[in-house]
Amino acid sequence: MNATEALCARVVRRLYRDSVALMALASSIEKREGVLRVGAVMATPANLEVLDRSGMRPVDLVAAPDDLLLVVRAVDEAVAEEALAAAEAGLTTTENRADRDEVRPQTVADGLAVGERPTLATVSTPGAYAPVVVEQALRAGLHVFCFSDNVPVADEIRLKRMAVERRLLLMGPDCGTAVVDGVPLGFANVASPGPVALVAASGTGAQEIACLLDAAGIGISQLVGVGGRDLSEAVGGLMTHLALEMVAQDEATDVIVVVSKPPAPQVADRLLERLAGLGKPVVACLLGLPDSDGPVVVRGTLEGGAAAAASLAGGALVVPDEPDATASPAPVRTGVLGLYTGGTLAAEAKVVLSRAGVAAQILDLGDDEYTAGRPHPMIDPSARVQPVLEAGARPDVGVLLVDLVLGHGASADPATPLAEAVVTARSTAAADGRELVVVGSVCGTTGDPQGIEGQRRILAAAGVVLHPSNAAAARYAAALTGARPVLTQEAQ
C-alpha cells in the first residue's frame, strides 16, 4: 500500500437503495481518477466482515444494518473525500427523483428485458430520432406515448398506419398528456377514476376537461392523447379512430369525449359520422364550433364539453360565474390581454371572448414562437414573468387573463412566480393611475402534487380573481369590458 493511500467512509443513516443502484454508483465512482476501490453497501455484520477481510473496513466505524455505508480507498485522502462527496451526491440525486424507481430502462430493448412484459413505451427523444425509436417500440408490440415534437408528418403517417395495423396506440408525436389505465403520462392531472373517456388532439384541453369532470365528482376512465396533427387533413384522424374504437370497447367507459381544435372539414365529417355510430354517448368538443345537440353532442368550449359529458354520465357540472376572490367588479373600458401557458386554454379564451364580441390579444406562451431554446412555461413558469410585468406598464391593457396548469410534469410551484409578477404589474398600473384586473383559473385537481388549494391561495393573495374554469374566467373578463357574457347551455 502506498504511504499516502487513504481509506475514507461515510454512513448515511437509514437509507434504502437496491443492489443495482448501489453497484452502478460504485462502478461510476471507481472510474474517478485516483480512486482504487469503492464499496456501497448496507452496513450489516456480514457485509462488514467481507469489507474487513479485504481491508476495506474503516477503523472505529459505527453503523447499523439499516445504514448505508460508502467506503472509498484512493491514492490520497483528498481524492477519497471528493469521491465520497460525489457518491453521496449520487445517492441524493436518486433520492430526489420523484418516484425512486427500482428500474429505469433507457431503451426499448432495456425495457423489454426488465420485469414482466411491458405494454407501453414513452418516447421523449429529439424529434429526428423519435421515428426510429417509435418504430422499434411498435414492432415490439408496445403502445407508444411520443412526447417528442418536430417529427416529420410523413413519419407520423407511416408510423400511425403501422400502429393501426397492429392495433396499437401511437399517442403523438408531440403528445402532451395521457392517462392510460390510471397511469399518468406526460403532463397529466391526478383525476379520479370515472366513466368518461377522453380522446384528445389537444393537451391542455383534455387536462381542463379531466379536471372539471374530477371537480364535478365524475372522473375519467381513460385519456388518450393522439397528437395535435392527428385530425389534420394529412393524417386524417388515423389514431383518433383507433382510440375511439378502443374506448368504445372499454368496460369502464360509459361516455366518450373527443377534444380538438376544429379539424379539417373532410376529417370532421368522417369523425362525426364515426362518433354517431360508436354505440356510446359521445361529446365532440371542437373548439369554436357552434354548440349543437344532434346524434353527436357538439360543444365549442372545453367547459361546454365537460358539462355535456357530466350530464351524459348522470352528473352535473356547475360552474358559478362569481369569482371566489374579491375584486373590483366595475367595468373597465380598456383591452383584454391573455398570457397563457396552455395552448388550448388560450384558444378557448379566444372563443369565449369572440362569442361575447370582445376583441382581445390572447398569447399562447407555450407556442414554438416563444419557447425556442427554452423550457415550456408549464415547466418553467418564470418565462411568463416578463410579459406580465410589461402588461402592467401598458395603458391599453385593463384586464389580464392567465391560466395555471398543475399536474405531473408541470412546475412544482407555478403560482409563486406568477403571483409575484402580478403584484408588481398591478403596482405599476396603480402608480400610473390605472387598475389592472388580473383574472384566471387553475387547471388542476385536489390530487395534483402541487397542492391546488395552496396554489389558489398564492394567486388570490396577489389579487388574481379566480374562477373555477378557464371559460368562466374569460366570460368574467368579457363582462369587465362591458360585454354581455354568453354561457354554454349546461354551465348556466
Partner 1 sequence: MSQPPTSAITNVVRLPHRIMVAEGPRPWAHNQPLRVVHVGQSAVLLEREGARSAPELVAVTAASRGLVPGGCCLPDVRDFAGFRTAVLRRPTVDLSGWASLAARQVVTVDLGIHPRPLDPAAVALLVRLVGQNPPDGVGRDARRDGLHPLMDPDPLRRLAGPLTRAALASDAGEVQLLLRQLIGAGPGATPAGDDVVIGAVAALDAATGTALPRARAHVARAHLCAFLPSLLSATTRASRQDLVAAVEGQFAQHVHVLAEALTDPAAVPPALRAARGWGATSGIDVASGVAGAAAAVLTQHRADRRSA
Footprint of partner 1 (CB under 8 A): 16-23, 26-27, 30, 37-42, 44-47, 50-51, 54, 56, 65-66, 98-103, 113-116, 181-184, 190, 192-195, 217-219, 221, 252, 254, 408, 446-447, 449
- C-beta closer to partner 1: residue 71 or 346: 71
Q: Work out how close the CB of 314 gets to partner 1 at its nearest, in angstroms, rounded to a whole number.
A: 9
Residue 18 or 76: the one with the smaller Cβ distance to partner 1 is: 18
CB of 386 to partner 1, least distance (A): 30
Minimum Å gap between C-beta 239 and partner 1 is: 22
DSSP string, 155-209: HHHHHHHHHHHTT--EE-SS--EEEETTEEEESB--PPEEEEEEEESSHHHHHHH
Q: How far is CA 369 from the centre of its chain?
A: 20
Secondary structure, 3-state, 339-381: EECCHHHHHHHHHHHHHCCCCEEEEECCCHHHHCCCCCCCCCH
Smallest gap from residue 186 Cβ to partner 1 (A): 14
| Residue 57 cell numbers, joined | 473496513
Nearest distance in Å: CB 100, partner 1: 6
Strand order in the sheet with 464-467: 360-364, 335-340, 397-405, 437-443, 464-467
Identify the CA nearest to 91 among candidates 33, 29, 8: 29
Output the DSSP codes for 373-427: TS--TTT-GGGGHHHHHHHHT-TTEEEEEEEEE-SBTS-S--HHHHHHHHHHHHH
Cell of 334: 380598456
Name the strand (E) or helix (H) holding 488: none
CB 256 within 8 A of CB 280: yes
Instruction: Tell the smallest beta-carbon distance from residue 333 to partner 1 (Å).
Output: 44
CB of 341 to partner 1, least distance (A): 22
Nearer to partner 1, 54 or 328 (CB): 54
Smaller CB separation from partner 1, 424 or 446: 446
**Is 3 or 98 the residue whose CB approaches partner 1 more closely?**
98
Nearer to partner 1, 165 or 251 (CB): 251
- Residue 253 or 470: which CB sits closer to partner 1? 253
